[in-house]
Amino acid sequence: MISAAPDRLPCLPLLGVALAVLATSGEALADGFATPPFDRGGGLVATSRTERYSPLEDLSSYSRPSLVRILVGPAGKVDSDSASPGLLAAIDIGRGPTGFRITGAWLDVGADRGLAQYTGELTLDFGGRSRLRPVLGAGAGIARTSSSVRADGSLDTSAGATLGVGLVRAGLGFRIPFEDADARVALDLTGTIPAIRSDSAPDITPWLLGALTVGVGF
């Protein structure tokens, strides 16, 4: 029995090495370097402890921009003589940096100085992959006034007049981070210049049209 004891002594170093390995593995697991579990789709789940929310983050993880977007919201017209409240509705067409917009605006409806504006414009979106969408647009259209001018110079409120207009627009939109929808809010300022007047059109100076809209894509 006494002679068998020395044969067990060589096992002690091996036991020490095994304990050291287990201790090192425990530290690695505590530091969070374990192999990540599989997700339901069969891929590895990778996480980062340094991820931070950014309102301007890359939109590649969200739905693609829709081809057609409908926007609507309150609007206001300001010229050298007055200010008029109203409503604006628009249809944006295009996914990329270039597109086309069709707009209708109804301002001070029912008043003698009321005006309806229908325009089309080419647009350029500088937003890239950001949620912020700076946009420039230029185009033309028609404006219909609620009143007209008679041959003697008096105002006729029973009939309107038509003008041809040109416009330039600057806008700033924000794409709401929904994964399944292209939803946006936007602020637009449009400068409109009367270019062609009918004989019965009242004397109207250029005006500024502002609008705050909410839109969804399809």
Q: Tell me what the pLDDT averaged over the chain comes to.
A: 81
Picking from 39-43, 73-77, 194-198, 200-204, which range would have the lowest pLDDT averaged per residue? 39-43
- The greatest distance separating any two alpha carbons of the chain, rounded to the nearest whole angstrom, comes to 135
Q: What is the pLDDT of residues 31-76, one digit of tens each?
A: 444 455 545 555 555 544 444 545 445 555 466 789 999 999 999 9
Looking at residue 62, its pLDDT comes to 60
65-217 to CATH, choices 2.40.160.20, 1.10.287.90, 3.40.50.2020, 2.60.40.10: 2.40.160.20
pLDDT surpasses 70 at 11: no
> Which range, 8-17, 38-47, 174-183, has the best average confidence (pLDDT)?
174-183
Looking at residue 40, its pLDDT comes to 52
Looking at residue 199, its pLDDT comes to 85
Looking at residue 29, its pLDDT comes to 44
Q: What is the pLDDT of residues 114-138, one digit of tens each?
A: 999 999 999 999 998 889 999 999 9
Please work out, in degrees rounded to the nearest 5, the angle formed at the alpha carbon of residue 194 by the alpha carbons of 191 and 195: 120
Q: What is the mean pLDDT of residues 75-93?
A: 95
The residue with greater pLDDT, 2 or 179, is 179
The DSSP string of 71-139 is EEEEEEEE-SS-EEEEEEEEEEE-SSSEEEEEEEEEESTTSTT-EEEEEEEEEEE--TTSSEEEEEEEE
Are 209 and 75 contacting, i.e. CB atoms less than 8 angstroms apart?
yes
DSSP-based helix, strand, coil % in the chain, nearest 5: 10, 50, 40
Looking at residue 18, its pLDDT comes to 52
Looking at residue 33, its pLDDT comes to 46
Q: What is the pLDDT of residues 154-169, one digit of tens each?
A: 889 888 999 999 999 9
Show me where the domains of the chain are located: 65-217
What percent of the chain stands above pLDDT 70? 71
